[in-house]
Amino acid sequence: MPLTTADLTLPALRAAYAAGSLTPTALAQQLLPAVAASQSVFISRPTEEEVLERCRFLESLPAEQRGPLWGIPFAVKDNIDVAGCPTTAACPAFEYAAAEHARAVKPLFDAGGIFLGKTNLDQFACGLVGTRSPYGVPANAFDDRFSPGGSSCGSAVAVAAGLCTFALGTDTAGSGRVPAGNNGIVGIKPSVGRFSTTGVVPACQLLDCPSVFALSVEDGAEVARLMENGDIADPTYRLPNAANLAKRWTPQAAFRFALPGPQFLDDSFLGPGGEPVRQAMEAAMGEAVQRLTALGGELVPGFDFAPFAETAVLLYGAAFVAERYAGIREFLEGRLEAPLAAPQLASIHDDERMLKVIRTIISKTEGFSSADVFQGLQQLTQLRGKCRVELAKIDVLVVPTSAYNYTIQEIQAEEEVPEYPKVTFHKNANLGRWTNFVNLQDMCGVSVYSGLLRLQGGAGETEEQRARQEHLAATGNPTSVLPFGITMLAPSWTDEYVAGIAAAYEKTTGLAAGPAGHGVTPYRSPK
């Protein structure tokens, strides 16, 4: 029998190993053909013999030396260093050989994990769509016509497709949550500083954090505990808030939660899917509220989401975007040592080493001054004060993981328009509506699957809606069945508290991760 995602959870693999019905070698031999056959999920992989050699080494260890991830397969986003592997950040010209593991990765090897490969991403982790890579677009686990989400597209698809038990991503603007929601799995977005970013290619370095994609909240939370950074000498170390760190949720304990107001939810559910999508997502949010209430939650009315929405705009619409330039400045300005000898470029827009859409985003740096940076910081300080007032009213903020999904065709059509310097990428921005504010507001969160959106084809009321229906019909199926996810958010260092509620919520859905766990046969359009 082929392995399913249910067979790959931490408890399932441990039980199989303990019973003697499975070994790491046997597991790898089952997974490796599917890993090799996957399209655009991995950028680089160890050889089959290297993986099997790792398995034999693990099997040679006496029981007392076998770590908590003994024999557990995992993957790593290709902007995070793994010793002996190239790191590309999905930019071939940027490639370098990593001399050592990123600090967040090393504990996973030490704990006995089996590394299967480096996964695809939106170039330089710049995007939430999963379509901005020269290495192709990983197929959404449910329907390959739709975005897999980004930037950690390969990691999310690898987990949802049953290629590994967990995978590392990164999350600056939502890259650890949107792909989880789009593929019906769990995304752990830690507090900034909980995991080291040493050995991670910067996106916005002060906001970056590695993330975990998993088949369950409990699996993801366990992996996250192994990755915690306790090294005060690490330049990315951050002193935790002790009170928040100690906070735990126990089953049926009362908690307060809030939703964004209807003025924020209603319009975010509109788009190419039209009124049927809005109604379906509204119903899905209603079901989420019922489940949370049954767990002991109290919905707090009158929560003001406006300062969070204003914060979200800052990440790409203010001088904070300059940090994306700063993170790869040596590469952009041609100061890297051999083998790269890049020319000094008059404009980032002329740098054909990068995809055009990435050049467009990073080149926004040219429009901001140092004074704009400080003005942005001052604006953020004001918004943080307003958000603190709102967060004091609740324990958890609950939002849709993303507003809705787009087809790959819709995204690429918008990003291929000729007037590049003036373009705003609205679809990517909409996917980040519920994610872009989180790190700027110093929050942590968990994205968890929450249901299905079953949408029938229709005539469509607008040109955009009609274009979608024509595309879906032309690709063999006018209907779509996509996962719906919610994200639970709270102030930094309450990671364990949020995970406790999210794990209990996950059990109320009656679902499990990926298409199989949702009872869905993945749709693959005819080629």
Contact 109, 58 (CB under 8 A): no
DSSP secondary-structure letter at 120? P
| 26 Cβ contact list (under 8 Å, min separation 6) | none
Structure tokens at 374: 């400080």
Q: Give the distance from CA 335 to its chain's centroid.
A: 31
Amino acid at 273: G
Contact 85, 45 (CB under 8 A): no
| Alpha-carbon gap, residue 186 to 210, rounded angstroms | 14
| Alpha-carbon gap, residue 149 to 212, rounded angstroms | 15
Vertex 261 angle, CA 259 and 266, to 5°: 105
Which residue in 40, 133, 175, 402 is the catalytic one?
175
| Alpha-carbon gap, residue 289 to 283, rounded angstroms | 10
Q: Is 175 a catalytic residue?
A: yes
Structure tokens at 358: 């990435």
Which residue in 38, 40, 133, 151 is the catalytic one?
151
| Alpha-carbon gap, residue 345 to 271, rounded angstroms | 38
Helix axis angle, 24-37 relative to 48-60, nearest 10°?
160
Structure tokens at 414: 């918008």
Which residue in 40, 77, 147, 247 is the catalytic one?
77
Catalytic positions, written as ranges? 77, 151, 175
